[in-house]
Amino acid sequence: MTWRGPTYRTVDGERIDGAWCHVWQRSRWDAEYYLDDLIVFADGSVRCQERTDLAGLEKLLASGRIAVPRPGAPDLPDEPSKWRSRRGEPLTPDGFLSEVADKIEELNGRPSTGQRCWEAIRRYQQEPDQPNRALLRDAYLAVPPHRRIHVLGDMDLQDRPLRILLTDVGEAVDGDGPVVTADMHQETLDYFRRGDEGVAREQERRAVQHADDPTGPGRAAVTSHQTVYPQGWPEALGLFVLRNDYPAQIAFAGELYSSVVHGYWALSAAGAADRRHIQEAASGREAHDLGGRSVRRADWAAIRLAVMGGLLRAKFTQHPELAEVLLSTGDATISYTGFSDSPFWRDVPDGRGRNWMGRLLELVRSELLAEQSLGSHRDPESPRVTGKSTSSQI
């Protein structure tokens, strides 16, 4: 089965994680089977038209109300050799039930049967005696039969190394495969050792290549909500200063703008008269409305991100008190929400939002931190970059 997710349900304010897959359900009207979603949750509940649990799912499978695989599908032809076959065991109701139980374990952060099989492999590698071999056999057989072929994650050899290792010396693997020797057991152990060495090399390579990755979790995400203050903006500065319509005069591209919104929409306009009207708008909302109605300059789609980045840089470098608010968010992801800006700029829950405003705020925050950290080491002869632009080409 192919599991998909994530999904969840909420119980008494608590999120219960889940996952889902497709099954065949028998219609109560005409007894025909149709494809339906079966959802499994971390608390052990199962939902497919009705809510039940593992015991209830077992009854549904036994009764034929739910089926895996599709009833009436033609049987696959018999393989001439089990050892040479590259086909896994067929999916059965019992195997599917074991897989669902496995998925519940995973949703709870507990090891699945496949992970427990790997734990048994590690024990046997460290001490290859008969008791550990017996534990490995039990762990392998606990994996749902139709999933055993994938348990090692080896597309070429599949689970053959384990089948060799669990076959007694002198016996044929799968009854029609090679007769196992002590050397074959050792070769299988060497196979796992080489795999471990390859993993170790890859981990070492990634440790070097990803040396600048964060070593711990970052701060919780910060959400910048669109706000309205009928009585005027509060005197005590807060996260609302991150909003583009917050009144903070900035100098950019040789002009003065009352806010980032004024600058953005004025610079987007193709005509000089429109630019002047937007620049002189009494509020950010008015500047936005005027800008939305004006004719856009032809290259705006190509340069708007750079312009917005420059305006934000000017805002926070020219107003240190506002920069302190931005810096107070630490390394938190910034989600810029609202309803006035397009999904290109804001975070929209349905996945349409690209949150470019939040991303640019994070970039400017990083630049401010770099300026603070590296400023004391600056070469006196090197030029100093500021957020103020003197370009007249925009």
Query: Average pLDDT in the 352-359 region?
Result: 94
State both tokens at 267: 């610079």
Q: Which class in CATH covers the domain with range 222-228+237-375?
A: mainly alpha
Confidence of residue 375 (pLDDT cuts 50, 70, 90): confident
Q: Which of 129-138, 262-271, 379-388 has the lowest mean pLDDT?
A: 379-388
How confident is the model at residue 135, as a pLDDT? 98
Residues 231-261 have pLDDT tens digits of 999 999 999 999 999 999 999 999 999 999 9
CA distance 121 to 69: 31
| Cβ proximity of 66 and 54 under 8 Å | no
Identify the band that residue 75 occupies on the pLDDT scale cut at 50, 70 and 90. Answer: confident
178-233 pLDDT, tens per residue?
999 999 999 999 999 999 999 999 999 999 999 998 888 888 899 999 988 999 99
Confidence of residue 384 (pLDDT cuts 50, 70, 90): low
How far is 220 from 276, CA to CA, in rounded Å?
41
Residue 205 token pair: 């390579």
User: What pLDDT shows up at residue 125?
Assistant: 97
Q: In the chain, pLDDT over 70 holds for what percent of residues?
A: 95
Dihedral sign from CA coordinates of 235, 240, 244, 245? negative
Average pLDDT over residues 87-106: 96
Other C-beta atoms closer than 10 Å to the C-beta of 270 total: 13
Mean pLDDT of 55-75: 93
**Contact indicator for 152, 161 with CB cutoff of 8 Å:** yes
Which residues on adjacent β-strands are paired with residue 37?
A: 22
10: pLDDT strictly greater than 50 = yes
Confidence of residue 378 (pLDDT cuts 50, 70, 90): low
pLDDT at 137: 98
For 50, other C-beta atoms within 10 Å of its C-beta total 9
pLDDT of the residue at 263: 98
pLDDT at 393 over 80: no
Contact present, 291 and 279 (Cβ < 8 Å): no
Partnered with residue 276 across adjacent β-strands are: none
Ranking 63-72, 168-177, 281-290 by mean pLDDT, the lowest is: 63-72
Q: Is residue 328 over pLDDT 70?
A: yes
Structural domain boundaries in the chain: 4-73+83-204, 222-228+237-375
Q: Can you tell me the mean pLDDT for 271-300?
A: 97
Question: Taking the complete model, does pTM exceed 0.75, yes or no?
Answer: no
Q: What is the mean pLDDT of residues 92-113?
A: 97
What pLDDT, on a 0 to 100 scale, did the predictor assign at position 51? 94
Pair type for strands 334-336 and 222-224: parallel
- The rounded distance, in Å, linking the Cα atoms of 308 and 260 is 8
**What CA–CA distances, in Å, run from 180 to 131, 133, 141, 169, 355?**
19, 15, 19, 5, 60
Q: Residues of the chain with pLDDT > 90: what percent?
A: 84
Which amino acid makes up residue 165?
Answer: L
pLDDT tens digits, one per residue of 34-64:
999 999 999 999 999 889 999 999 999 999 9
Mean pLDDT of the chain: 93
pLDDT at position 350 is 75
Q: Give the whole-angstrom CA distance, residue 136 versus residue 164.
A: 12
* Amino acid 383: pLDDT: 55
Q: Using CA atoms, how far apart are residues 311 and 261, in angstroms rounded to an integer?
A: 9
| Confidence band, pLDDT 50/70/90 cuts, at residue 381 | low
**Is residue 382 scored above 60 in pLDDT?**
no
- Amino acid 376: pLDDT: 62
86-90, 100-104, 360-364: which has the minimum mean pLDDT? 86-90
Residues 285 and 270: their CA atoms lie apart, in Å, by 20
